[in-house]
Structure 1
Amino acid sequence: MIPVTKQEFLLLLQNGLSGLPKADLEERINFYSEMIDDRIDDGLSEQQAVLEMGEPEKIISQIILDYPFIKLVNQKIKPKRKLTALEIVLIVLGAPLWVPLIIAFFAVIFSVYISLWAIIISLWAVFASFVACAFSGIICGIAFCFTSHKLTAVALIGAGLVLLGLSIFVFYGCKAATKGILQLTKTIFNSIKNSFITKEEAL
């Protein structure tokens, strides 16, 4: 849905961010409301001002991505009302069950994050080894040129040049893989954050 009025745009933002703390939600709604008003004051129509804001879905995703994860968790587990004595007792008694589950959940997230970064580091280590071997071969080949081992010199220089050429392809492969893994990491954490956002209908 593409909003054409300020009210529609702000309503979409409010629905998409309804899981945020009230103060933070109001701050972001007021921010975009003022931005639209400023553009209208500059001579744009309401529809043009709204279109300049961009797609609400992308704005919502970016806000959630930038929002501190701990605050989302605190907001999610924060009681909506004062707990009764019975509820407090049940929570305490159930702690041996839900505390390990929470620890396991964060342990899985952390292990996935570390694993993805380990892949990135490994890929760039391969690239570095290609470059190091290439220059080592070329340097050793040049050194052998001043000896009687001319064929060895040619072989080393040739191997070094081949590795240097291959390192270019490895570089672009590492660059693409790094970009993909970072995007995957972003998507995973954005999905996790979205799971803590309860999208409710705005009143």
Structure 2
Amino acid sequence: MTKQEFLYQLNEGLIRLNESEKEQFIHYYDELIEDYVEDGASEEEAVKKLGKPAQVASKILEEAFEEGNIQPKKSINPLLVVLLILGFPLWGSLLLALILLILAGYIVIWCLPFSTGIFAVTGLAASLFSVLFSFFTLQDGISIAVTQLGVGIFVLGLSILSGLLTISMSRYFIKTSNYFSSKIIRLIRVKELLL
């Protein structure tokens, strides 16, 4: 087993720890393997000296549980389960309304860049169509062909500007969406802590 495989499996085994504690243990075992390698052992031998990642993770979790860093799982109260089932029409509809409200927020956030992006794509297609077929309107007169060519080039310019505007707005709206998402996640985590 390579060092990367060992550290990956150890990381998966430490799923009950928070990210900072996990990172400390991963960093510790990474350095430990490097020390063994510097002492002349191969990477596989160094990993073998540490044992199986599942056993190492189990030992770490046992020690964390004994120190009180991990709380034991709480048993589920049957009365609470019954109340949740009976109250589903109320809390289920409220949950659905909340989900739809969050979805509406994302739709509002992305409505403007979506509209400019659609205009950029359709404007590009229309302008290319207009420019290409302006040559076929020569039979109707040169002024009509030149006008159609000019309109096609004008719409091409607008669609390019709209595409550039979409790209620049999308960067801003991605930041806004990330901020909106982090607020929602933070609110959910606070609710979990209160329960």
With normalisation by structure 1, the TM-score equals: 0.53
* Alignment gaps of 5+ in structure 1: 1-21, 43-79
* CA deviation profile, 1:68-120 (whole Å, cap 9, x unmatched): xxxxxxxxxxxx63355665565555444323222221222233335555554
SS of structure 2 residue aligned to 1:25: coil
1:195 and 2:150 matched: no
Q: 2:40 is matched with which residue?
A: none
Q: 2:135 is matched with which residue?
A: 142
Question: Compared with structure 1, are the counterparts of its residues 167 and 87 closer, same or farther at alpha carbon in structure 2 (3 Å cutoff)?
Answer: closer
1:164 and 2:156 matched: yes
Larger Rg: 2
Match of 1:180 among 169, 172, 195: 172
CA distance in 2 between counterparts of 1:36 and 1:84 reads 40
SS of structure 1 residue aligned to 2:17: helix
Q: Is the 8 A contact 2:116 2:163 kept in 1?
A: no
Q: 2:116 is matched with which residue?
A: 123
- Larger deviation: 163-172 or 104-113? 104-113
Partner amino acid for 1:144?
Answer: T
* CA deviation profile, 1:31-61 (whole Å, cap 9, x unmatched): 355337757979xxxxxxxxxxxxxxxxxxx
CA distance in 1 between counterparts of 2:80 and 2:125 reads 63
RMSD: 3.5
SS of structure 2 residue aligned to 1:159: helix
Q: Is the 8 A contact 2:119 2:159 kept in 1?
A: no
* Aligned counterparts, 1:1-203, within 5 A: 23-26=15-18, 29-35=21-27, 81-84=74-77, 87=80, 91=84, 94-116=87-109, 119-145=112-138, 147=139, 149-198=141-190
Partner amino acid for 1:180?
Answer: Y
* Alignment gaps of 5+ in structure 2: 1-13, 36-72
SS of structure 2 residue aligned to 1:197: helix
| Structure with the bigger percentage of helix | 2
CA distance in 2 between counterparts of 1:156 and 1:103 reads 51
CA distance in 2 between counterparts of 1:129 and 1:35 reads 52
CA distance in 2 between counterparts of 1:93 and 1:24 reads 31
* CA deviation profile, 1:133-170 (whole Å, cap 9, x unmatched): 2112212222233x260111111111111221222211
Q: Which has the higher contact order (CA 8 A, sep 6+)?
A: 1
Q: CA deviation at 1:126?
A: 0.9
